[in-house]
Amino acid sequence: MSSSNSGNWWKHLALYGIPLGLLMASLQYSRLHLLTYGQSEKWYIAFIAILFAAVGIWAGMRWNRKYPLSSPTAPLPVLPKEQLLAGLGITPRELEVLEQMAEGKSNQEIAESLFVSLNTVKTHLSNLFSKLDVQRRTQAIQKAKSLGLLP
Which 34-53 positions form the footprint of DNA (CB under 7 A)? none
Q: Which does 123 bind (CB under 5 to 8 A by kind): DNA, a second copy, none?
A: DNA
User: Contacting DNA (CB under 7 A), which of 28, 40, 83, 108?
Assistant: 108
Binders of a second copy: how many residues, by CB under 8 A?
A: 74
Question: For the window 102-141, what string marks contact with a second copy as x by the rule CB under 8 A?
Answer: xxxxx-x--xxx-x--x---------------x-xxxx-x
Q: Is 121 exposed, middle or buried (0-12, 13-18, 19+ CB in 10 A)?
A: buried
Q: Between 121 and 147, name the residue whose CB sits nearer to DNA.
A: 121
Give the one residue of 77, 87, 89, 146 binding DNA; rule: CB under 7 A: 89
Q: 20: closest CA among 52, 48, 63?
A: 52
Nearest residue (CB) to a second copy, 11 versus 126: 11
Residue from 20, 123, 142, 148 binding DNA (CB under 7 A): 123
Residue 114 in the binding site for DNA (CB under 7 A): yes
- CB-side neighbour CA atoms (13 Å) of 62: 9
Stretch that binds DNA, among 14-22, 32-40, 45-53, 105-113 (CB under 7 A): 105-113
DSSP string, 8-43: THHHHIIIIIHHHHHHHHHHHHHHHHT--SSTTHHH
20 binds a second copy (CB under 8 A): yes
**Segment 98-105 long-range contacts (CB within 8 Å, at least 24 positions apart):** 98/125, 98/128, 98/140, 98/144, 98/149, 98/150, 99/150, 101/125, 101/137, 101/140, 101/141, 102/141, 102/144, 102/145, 102/150
The answer to whether 83 contacts a second copy (rule: CB under 8 A) is: no
